[in-house]
Structure 1
Amino acid sequence: MPPETCPNLIEYLKRFDLPLSVMQTKEALERIAFEVYEDAALENVTYMEVRFGPLLHREQGLNVEEIIGSVVAGMKRAEQAHGIKGNIILSLLRHMPTDEINDVIDVGSQYVGKGVAAFDLAGGEELGFCEKFIPFAKYAKEKGLNVTIHAGEQGEGQNVYDAITMLGAERVGHGIHIATHQAAFDLVHDKQVALETCPSSNVQTKAVESMDVHPIEDFRQRGIPVTINTDNRTVPTPP
C-alpha cells in the first residue's frame, strides 16, 4: 500500500512490485484475473476493462501467449460465473525496451473481439514520449486494436495533444493537464476524446493538490467526456 501522500508518480508506481511478484505463473494470472472481475461483479459492475502489462509477468519463464491467454481465461471464467462482461487492455511500459512491443500486439490481436480491446502506453511520463511510439501505435491499429494512452497525468498537457495527433489515441488515461494547455483542451473537446480520470490517484500522486481543485467537474461542464476510474485495484488507497 502506498503512503497516503506520495511525493510523485514514480514513488507510487513502486508499489506495483509486491503484487507483480505473485503474478508470474499461469495459474496465478488466471486466478487473479478471475478474482478481479469477480470482485467487480459483486460490487454491481456490469462491464469493466482492465489494463495490465504482459511483459511484467515473465520472471518465471512465461511467454507472452501464455500470459495473455491466462488473463483472458480468468476473465472469461468470471464472465460465466458472475454475468459481468470484460475486456483487457494491453499496457506497454514507456521505460522498457521496445523490441518486444510488436510481439505483444501480435498475440493480443488474436484475442480482438474475444477479450482484448486495446493497446496502451503507461508508466512514468516524460514530455515528448509519443514520437518514439508512433510505429507501434500504427501497427496496433493495423492489427485491429483500439488505442488508449496514459498522458497528461503529470503536468504535461502537450503529451495529450501528441497522443491524439501522433498515436491516434481514441481515449486518454488521466489527461487532466489539458486544463493548462489550450490546444490540447480544444482538441480533446472537438474530437470528443474521452478522459479516463482517476481523481483519488491524482491526489495521492500529487498530480493535483486536492479533490477540491481536481478539474474533472470543470471538464464535464465544458463538454469533455470523462469517466471515473480506480486507476488500479492492486495498489489500494489508504483509508
Structure 2
Amino acid sequence: MRYGGPQVNELPLSFFQRLPKTDLHVHLDGSLRVETILELANEQGLELPATDVPGLRSALHAGENTGSLVKYLEAFDITLRVLQTEDALYRVAYELAEDAAAENVRYMEVRYSPMLHVREDLRLTEVVETVLRGLHDAETDHGIESKLILCGIRNISPESSLEMAELVVAYKGRGVVGFDLAGAEYDYPAKDHQEAFALVRRNNINVTIHAGEAYGPPSIAQALHDCGAHRIGHGCRLREDGDLLHYVVDHRIPLECCPSSNVQTGAIASLETHPLRLYKNLGARVTINTDNRLITDTTVSKELWLAHTQIGLSFSDIHQIIINGFKSAFLPFHEKQRYLASVSKQLDAFAADGTIDEAKLEAARQAHARKQALPATVTAE
C-alpha cells in the first residue's frame, strides 16, 4: 500500500489518454516502435539479438527493472544500429510524434545527440534536418507541435559536446529549442562540459541537464550553478538535500520527472516511494514525462495514470502538473500563454469523478483551432 492509503475512485487509463498534455523529456533513440526496428534492420541488412517482437523487447529490457542507469543505457546500442540513415531517422521521428498525438500530447520536446547517428555517411546537419522534417510532417498530419533538444554526452568528451552546442546555435529558431547533457552520470561531471554550456548561454538558448538520477544532489547543484540549467532532467535524488530542494522550488526550476524510468534504472526503489508527490506538495514545478517510450514501455498517459494510482496524486494534482508542462516548455512567453489559455479551457471539461463534458471539450477545441488560424500578432495578445 502506498503512503497515505488507497486512492478513492481511481480514474481509468482511458481518462488520462484524453487529457491534453506535454512530453518535455523524451529520447528519440529510446522511443522507436519494435516493429519499426525489425523492419529497418531487415531493410539495412543488420543483425539484431532477436528477430521477433517478444524477443527484441526482451533484449531491449523494455519495461524491466535493470538496476542501474548504465545497464538501462545498453538498449541504445541496439536502437542506434538502425538509426544511421535519413530514411530511418525521418520515419522514427514521424512515428514518435504520431504515437504521441494519438494520446493527445499537444506539445513535445524530443531530444537526441546527432553525433550518435553519423556512423555511415550522414553529416550532422543532415541528421538534424531529417528529424526536423519528420516532426514537421507529423505536425501537419496530426496536429502535434514538436521541437528538438540536442544533447552532449557526458561520457564521450567535452569537445564533442561543444560540437553539439554549435549545432544548437546554428539551428536556433529553426526547430531546435535547447541543449542537454545526457549519458552516464556517475564519474562524468557536467562541469567538464562548461565550454558547451557557455556557448549556448551566450546565445540565449535554453539548457536542461540530466542530473540527480545516478548521482546525488551535488550533480543537480552543479547543473544549476556551474552550467546554468533552466530545467533539471529527472532530479529524483533532490530530496536528499532539503536546502537545494527549496532553492529549486523558490526559483521555479522545472523538474522533468520520469517515474517509471527512475524505477527501471534503480534510482528509485518503487513508484510508491518516488518523491514526485513530496515535490508537488512542497510547490515544486514538477512535470511528468516518458523518458523512453519503448525502453520504459510507457506513454505520458500511463505515467500520469501511475502517478495517480501508485503515487497517490489526485486529479487536481494531475491538472496542475499538466499546466506545469506547458509553463515549462522551451517556447516564447506568448506562445506558452496561448497554449495555457486553450489547455485550461479543455481541462475544465474533465471532472475528478471521471466524467467528461463532451460539449465543453469540443467548444474549447474549436476555440483553439480558430485561434491557431489567426495571425501570431493577434493570438499573442
What range is the shorter-chain TM-score in? over 0.9
Measured against aligned partners, the alpha-carbon deviations of 1:176-233 in whole angstroms (never above 9, x if no partner) come to 1110012321221121111001100111111011111100011000011101111112
Give the letter for the 2:272 counterpart. Answer: D
1:61 to partner: Cα distance: 2.0
**Matched residue, 1:203:** 263
Measured against aligned partners, the alpha-carbon deviations of 1:93-141 in whole angstroms (never above 9, x if no partner) come to 1001222333322222232222111000011112670221222111012
Once residues 184 and 63 of structure 1 are traced to their aligned partners in structure 2, the CA distance between those partners, rounded to angstroms, is 41
Q: Which moved more, 1:152-161 or 1:93-102?
A: 93-102
Measured against aligned partners, the alpha-carbon deviations of 1:32-58 in whole angstroms (never above 9, x if no partner) come to 111110111111111001111111101
Once residues 60 and 144 of structure 1 are traced to their aligned partners in structure 2, the CA distance between those partners, rounded to angstroms, is 33
The structure whose residues are more often helix, as a share, is 2
Task: Give the TM-score normalised by structure 2.
Answer: 0.60
Q: 2:61 matched to 1:2?
A: yes
Q: Which moved more, 1:32-41 or 1:141-150?
A: 141-150
> What does 1:165-204 align with in structure 2 at a 5 Å threshold?
165-204=225-264
Contact 1:198 1:230 in 2 (8 A): yes
Measured against aligned partners, the alpha-carbon deviations of 1:6-38 in whole angstroms (never above 9, x if no partner) come to 121100000111111110011211111111101
Once residues 188 and 154 of structure 1 are traced to their aligned partners in structure 2, the CA distance between those partners, rounded to angstroms, is 19
Indicate which of 96, 107, 110 corresponds to 2:156: 96
Once residues 128 and 13 of structure 1 are traced to their aligned partners in structure 2, the CA distance between those partners, rounded to angstroms, is 15
SS at match of 2:267: coil
**Matched residue, 1:47:** 107
Q: 2:86 matched to 1:26?
A: yes
Once residues 128 and 61 of structure 1 are traced to their aligned partners in structure 2, the CA distance between those partners, rounded to angstroms, is 29
Give the letter for the 1:44 counterpart. Answer: N
Q: 2:219 matched to 1:159?
A: yes
Indicate which of 47, 70, 78 corresponds to 2:130: 70
SS at match of 1:126: coil
Q: 2:165 matched to 1:81?
A: no
Once residues 71 and 190 of structure 2 are traced to their aligned partners in structure 1, the CA distance between those partners, rounded to angstroms, is 23
Q: Which consecutive residues of structure 2, in runs of 5 or more, have no partner in the other structure?
A: 1-59, 299-381
Give the letter for the 1:180 counterpart. Answer: E
Indicate which of 183, 195, 213 corresponds to 2:273: 213
Shift of the 79–200 alpha-carbon distance from structure 1 to 2, 3 Å rule, reads same
Indicate which of 194, 197, 213 corresponds to 1:134: 194
Give the letter for the 2:114 counterpart. Answer: P
Give the letter for the 2:233 counterpart. Answer: G
**Matched residue, 2:282:** 222
SS at match of 1:232: coil
Shift of the 72–82 alpha-carbon distance from structure 1 to 2, 3 Å rule, reads same
Contact 1:174 1:195 in 2 (8 A): yes
Once residues 172 and 227 of structure 2 are traced to their aligned partners in structure 1, the CA distance between those partners, rounded to angstroms, is 19
SS at match of 2:61: coil
SS at match of 2:132: helix
Once residues 196 and 252 of structure 2 are traced to their aligned partners in structure 1, the CA distance between those partners, rounded to angstroms, is 23
Shift of the 58–234 alpha-carbon distance from structure 1 to 2, 3 Å rule, reads farther
Once residues 136 and 107 of structure 1 are traced to their aligned partners in structure 2, the CA distance between those partners, rounded to angstroms, is 11
Once residues 296 and 257 of structure 2 are traced to their aligned partners in structure 1, the CA distance between those partners, rounded to angstroms, is 17
Contact 1:127 1:156 in 2 (8 A): no
Task: Give the TM-score normalised by structure 1.
Answer: 0.94
Shift of the 60–234 alpha-carbon distance from structure 1 to 2, 3 Å rule, reads farther
Once residues 162 and 257 of structure 2 are traced to their aligned partners in structure 1, the CA distance between those partners, rounded to angstroms, is 27
Give the letter for the 1:208 counterpart. Answer: I
Contact 1:198 1:231 in 2 (8 A): yes
Contact 1:161 1:187 in 2 (8 A): no
Contact 2:135 2:146 in 1 (8 A): yes
Shift of the 180–127 alpha-carbon distance from structure 1 to 2, 3 Å rule, reads farther
Once residues 181 and 120 of structure 2 are traced to their aligned partners in structure 1, the CA distance between those partners, rounded to angstroms, is 24
Between the two proteins, what is the percent identity of the paired residues?
Answer: 39
SS at match of 1:176: coil
Contact 1:109 1:144 in 2 (8 A): no
